[in-house]
Structure 1
C-alpha cells in the first residue's frame, strides 16, 4: 500500500516543521563548537559527550602541554563538522519522514 499525494504532502509539512535548523546548528558550532553543542542539538549525543570531554580535558591539561594536541583535535573536528552538518540534518529529516510514513501506514484505511 502506498501513500496518497495528500498524505505525502502532510508528511513533508511535518518534516519541514520538525526538522533541525541548519542556521541554529551552525550558530551553535561557531559559538559553542568545542563544547559539542551543535552535536547535542542534532541528536549525536555520544559524539557530543566525547567532544565535550576532550575540550574540558584539553583545557585542564593545557598547562602541562598535553592539552594542546587534544584542543587541536577538537578544533579540526569542529572544522570537519562545518561540512558534516548538512548530512546530519538530511539524516534527521529522513528519520522523521520514515517515522511519519510508518505512522500513517499503520492507521486503518477508511472505505
Structure 2
C-alpha cells in the first residue's frame, strides 16, 4: 500500500491564528493572531492636471473649457457669456469692451492656473504628490 502524502511544512490557519506544521505533525509555534484586514481607500476622482488645464485654456479658452475642467461652474458660464456676448455685440461697439474683459481674464488665468488646479484638487480631497 502507498503512504499518505502529508502537506508540506509551513504556516497554516488554525483557531484564528497561524500554526506551524513541520511536515509530519503540528508544533506548539503559533502567531499571536491574524492581522486585521487593511482598508485601502482609492479616490474615484482623478486629480486635475496643470498641463491639461493649460491645453484647455490655450486651445478652447473661448469655450471656458479650462473652467469647466476644473469644475468652476460660475466662472465658466460668466466667461462664456462675456466671450460670446462680446462677439455678438461688436456691431454696436459694446462687444469690444466685453472682449477686452475676456482678454484680461485670460491673461490672469495664464498666471493663476496652477493655483486654480491645486484648489480644484483640494476641493476633491486629493493631496498634491509633492507633499
Same fold flag (TM > 0.5): yes
Q: Give the match's secondary structure for 2:71.
A: coil
- Aligned match of 1:65: 93
Q: Which structure features the higher share of helix residues? A: 1
Cα deviation for residue 94 of structure 1 reads 1.9
Unaligned ranges ≥5, structure 1? 1-5, 99-111
TM-score using structure 1 length = 0.69
Contact between 1:19 and 1:93, CA under 8 Å: does it hold in 2? yes
**Aligned structure 1 segments of 4 or more residues deviating by more than 2 angstroms:** 95-98
- Aligned match of 2:59: 31
Q: Give the structure, 1 or 2, with the largest relative contact order (CA under 8 Å, sep 6 or more).
A: 1
Contact between 2:53 and 2:117, CA under 8 Å: does it hold in 1? no
- Structure 1 residues 41-56: aligned runs within 5 Å: 41-56=69-84
Q: Tell me how large the CA RMSD over aligned residues is.
A: 2.6
TM-score using structure 2 length = 0.60
- Number of residue pairs matched by the alignment: 90
Q: Which structure features the higher share of strand residues? A: 2
Whichever of the two has the greater Rg, that structure is 2
Task: Say whether residues 1:96 and 2:109 are aligned partners.
Answer: no
Structure 1 Cα separation of the partners of residues 125 and 87 of structure 2: 40
